[in-house]
Structure 1
Amino acid sequence: MSFHQLLLVLQARWRLVATIALAVVGVVVTISLILPKQYTAEASVVINTKGMDPISGVQLQVLPSYMATQVDIINSDRVAQRVVKTLKLDQVPAFRTQWEEATKGKGSFESWLGELLNKKLEIKPSRESNVININFKWPDAKAAAALANAFTQAYIDTNLDINVEPAKQYATFFTERLKVMRADVEAAQKQLSDFQRENGITAADERLDVESARLQELSTQLVAAQSQRMDSASRQQQAGNKNAMSPEVLQNPLIANLKADLSRMESQRDEIVRRLGKNHPDYQRSEADIAALKDRIAQESARVVTSLGTSNQVNLQREAELRAALDAQRKKLLLLKNQRDQLTVLQNDVLAAQRAYDTTSQRLTQSSLESQTQQTNIVVLNAATEPADPSSPKIWLNTLLAIVIGAFFAVIAALFAELRDQRVRSPSELTRLLSVPILTNVPRRPQPSRKFFGGFFRRPA
């Protein structure tokens, strides 16, 4: 069927088309007018993920899943229950009546009410920033704004509780451990004093103290050198493994940029293959550019691996030097010790117990501060205000969609009616059906005049 024939069919069956289209539009508009209005209030919060922790002084590190975790916290039942308690919604008789009708009085009323609120809640995290929009839809505009702000504050309070509760548990744990460590320090100090009194030692030899301090320093340096050597050897081994990538290679800015360019060029090459094929000059040029870029990535990776090897050799040499110095110092110290060996052991016990006690005391102080903090990294960016216009139903949009859908179904109905009762509507169609030429075209007989307003106006015959 040509477009001209379609127009003839629609012209002939315009009453059917108009009836169906108007019926669809009327039903949609009626339903839109009957449906209760819904108002959406929006509040937004910004999450600070940069800077230093004000208590521990540690740089804040944010995982890629942090924003998704915050969205789950807002949608959690814990936040909803806090909103219910804050606004005292569990004391509203209408909600309790609705709960009894829906659940027959089974289950928890607070949990059901929290689920009801969560169904009206919509969280929209920003893709390009740390802003989270909290939308709440409710039949009353003022209540929608109040509930959106209540969810915002409940989320901030819940986030603060999540951060404070572990600190309180740690504070309790460190308090108990501190009592035990204080007893350990006192016991070690008493044992050292008894040994000095029994052996008549009032103070350690100055030279022995100097040599002991030097031995301790060399031992510490050797442990650090061993750690550096093991780390550099591990990184060198990992970098030399073709099946694994070294963190230094992965974190190298130049290599990362080159890989990004490689990914972009490979995407362009695939697009050229789909559009032009592999024999096109653009594809050959793209393959050459990709090969050159891969070579450069390999060269840069090899350079990083080479630098890791050099660093590992330096660490090995330094470890050997420190080990030799430590052995020489140990032999020198053994000549000075004899009777004072046990005294040194006892002194080390006292120092170790004291260090453990000091470390635990610091952790207790930090945990106590964290358990009492009222600061959070979440700030209200925009508080929800009472919306002026309802967000649904959108009458104009529904009407426009109804017009489109009604027109579609009207055309389908006209074509279906035409298939059931086909008629010749044009000379060209008659020629196609009968395969004979048309000699003449008899015009349609004029219709009788129609009366308007009781016959005062008539169409000419």
Structure 2
Amino acid sequence: MNLLQFLLILKARYKVILITFLITVSTATVVTLLLSKSYTATTSLLLNYKGMDPVTGMVLPAQLMPGYMATQNDIIQSRNIALKVVNQLGLDKSEQAQTQFRQASKGSGDIRNWLADLLLKNLSVKPSKESSVIEISFNSADPNFATVAVNSFAENYQQTSAQLKVAPAQQAAGYFGQQVKVLRDDLEQAQSRLSAYQQEKGITNPEQNLDIENMRLNELSGQLSMVQVASIDSQSRSANAQRSSLDSPDIASSPTIQGLKSESARADAKLAELSQRLGKNHPAYKSAEGEANKIRSQLHEEAQRLSNSIGNSASINQQREAQLRSQVESQKKKVLGLNRLRDEMSVLQKDVEVAKKAMDAVTQRFSQTSIEGQSNQNDISILNPAIVPTSPSSPRVLLNIVLGAFVGLVLGIGFGLFAELLDRRVRGRDDISIILGVPVFAVIEGNSTKTNENLLLGQARKLLTSN
């Protein structure tokens, strides 16, 4: 079928098409006028959300949180919000609503949940694709109720969003409050252990005590070094004095020894002189010899006394060295003990510092989450509150009539083609060629009348019948 045949069929079946078109348009118009009017109220919300973890305090922009807008849509259309709307508007107390509930559910179930489901069926949420604006719409036969309902949904969504935001902070505040108590007990125990250790060991200022004891150890070490040098020197002098007393420098330098040596030399010289003039048994010689021996005896006694004095000095230095060495060893033990006490106390002080830092950090987070838990700020604001609609949103009369006209035209054309299939007729030369199965060689044009055309068509039908 070509376009010409299609147009000829439409022309021939125009009555069927027109009747179908008129019936469809009329039906659509009547149904549209008979439908009850529905009004839609819309409110716009602006979401300026910054997500914060109440435990870590980290802030995440909303655009970095996947599914944020979808989550808000689910919250708005949740049963929780719908139940709050039912409670706020007191719909469950309406006698008409109770009657409808009994008829619909035969008294089974909860009227509040039933009303919440009805509200959610008439609610629609449309988020913006490129902004943080959400539009909430509600359909109802009563424009005033539609406005009140959608505004109630927006208000309860604001309150619920604030509660959902505050609830984690309140839970975190409770958790941090418990941790503060535990850490405070740990800090008190650590401080008690430190104080008990200081009292037990008698430590007031370990650093100052250690410095004083170190200074004393250094002084004793210096004194010990000096005494050791003196002891070595005195021992050497004592040994020299004991080997050769008169040749010892310490003894020889004594004025008494030097005087006795001079007197001994004079006595020896006098004795030598007398030995030349007198005999050994001469009284004068005997007297001089006794004097010389006496002087020599005094010299040896003085030398022995000085040698003993040098030995005593060496012995004293040795004793002093032993005492100082003992004191140094004792002081070293004391310093080492203080170091050990300081290290042990340092561990206890470190425990106190760690416990204090932990408690300070948790206390800070506890204060922050407590403030957040008491905050009534909301990141959701109503951009455009709903107003009472003046015109119904449905039915749309003009749109329905246009759609009815389109559908009627399509149905009319379809019915026309169907009628043509049931009663196929010759509409043009192409139909003759298709029916007879032979090509059309010529077309005679002239002032042919309709009778001649009908005659030609009748002959074509006869040929078709005979074949």
Instruction: Report the TM range for the smaller structure's normalisation.
Output: 0.5 to 0.7
SS at 1:137 equivalent: strand
1:355-374 → structure 2 map (5 Å cutoff)? 355-374=357-376
Which residue pairs with 1:421 in the alignment? Answer: 423
CA contact (8 A) 2:38 2:141 kept: yes
Contact 2:170 2:369 in 1 (8 A): yes
Corresponding residue of 1:126: 128
Q: Give how far 1:70 is off.
A: 0.9
Map 1:21-420 → 2, pairs under 5 A: 21-49=21-49, 58-62=58-62, 63-205=65-207, 337-420=339-422
Instruction: Find the residue that maps to 2:203 and give its secondary structure.
Output: coil
- The letter for the 2-side match of 1:14 is Y
Q: Measure, in 1, the Cα distance between the counterparts of 2:434 and 2:60.
A: 81
Q: Give the distance between the partners of 1:68 and 1:45, measured in 2 at CA.
A: 14
> How far is the alpha carbon of 1:430 from its aligned partner?
3.2
Amino acid at match of 1:444: K
Flag the 1:81–1:44 CA change in 2: closer, same or farther, 3 A. same
Q: Distance in 1 between matches of 2:197 and 2:44?
A: 68
Are the aligned partners of 1:49 and 1:60 in contact in 2 as well (CA < 8 Å)? no
> 2:450 aligns to what SS in structure 1?
coil
* TM-aligned CA deviation for residue 410 of structure 1: 0.8
Structure 2 Cα separation of the partners of residues 398 and 366 of structure 1:
59
Name the CA shift for 1:337/1:61 in 2 (closer, same or farther; >3 Å): farther
State the distance in 2 between where 1:335 and 1:398 align: 102
Relative to structure 1, is the Cα distance of residues 61 and 204 closer, same or farther in structure 2, using a 3 angstrom cutoff?
A: farther
Q: How far is 1:68 from its partner?
A: 1.2
Higher radius of gyration, 1 or 2: 2
**Whole-Å Cα distance in 2 between the matches of residues 418 and 335 of structure 1?**
122
CA–CA distance in 2 between the matches of 1:4 and 1:54?
77
> 2 CA distance for matches of 1:388 and 1:113?
26
Higher helix share: 2
Shift of 1:90: 1.4
Amino acid at match of 1:443: T
Change (3 A) 1:11 1:344: same
1:65 alignment partner AA = G
Where structure 1 has 5 or more consecutive residues not aligned to the other structure, the ranges are 210-333, 446-461
Aligned CA distance change for structure 1 residues 47 and 206 (closer, same or farther; 3 Å): farther
CA contact (8 A) 2:39 2:394 kept: yes
Give, in whole Å, the separation in 2 of the partners of 1:207 and 1:97: 92
Q: List per-residue Cα deviations over 1:5-27 (Å, max 9, x = no partner).
A: 22222222222111111111111
CA distance in 1 between partners of 2:426 and 2:8 (Å): 10
Q: How far off is 1:439 after superposition?
A: 4.4
8 Å Cα contact 2:54/2:169 also seen in 1: no
The CA distance in 1 between the partners of 2:434 and 2:130, in whole Å, is: 63
Using structure 1 for the length normalisation, give the TM-score: 0.64
> Relative to 1, partners in 2 of residues 1:432 and 1:168: Cα closer, same or farther, differing over 3 Å?
closer
Q: State the shift of 1:397 in Å.
A: 0.9
Using a 3 Å threshold, how does the CA distance of structure 1 residues 207 and 142 change in structure 2: closer, same or farther? farther
Aligned-residue CA RMSD in angstroms? Answer: 2.8
2:450 pairs with one of 441, 444, 449: 444
Flag the 1:178–1:145 CA change in 2: closer, same or farther, 3 A: same
Contact 2:169 2:372 in 1 (8 A): yes
Closer, same or farther: CA 444–191 of 1 in aligned 2, 3 Å: same
Q: Percent identity?
A: 41
Identify which range, 87-96 or 407-416, moves more after superposition. Answer: 87-96
Counterpart CA distance in 1 for 2:142 and 2:119 is 14
* CA displacement, residues 166-209 of structure 1 (integer Å, 9 cap, x when unaligned): 22222233333333332222222111111111111112416999
Residue deviations 1:361-395 (CA, integer Å, cap 9, x gap): 22221221111110011111111111121111111
Contact 1:185 1:350 in 2 (8 A): yes
- Given that residues 125 and 133 in structure 1 are in contact (C-alpha distance below 8 angstroms), is that contact kept between their aligned partners in structure 2? yes
Partner deviation per Cα, 1:287-306 (whole Å, 9 max, x = no partner) = xxxxxxxxxxxxxxxxxxxx
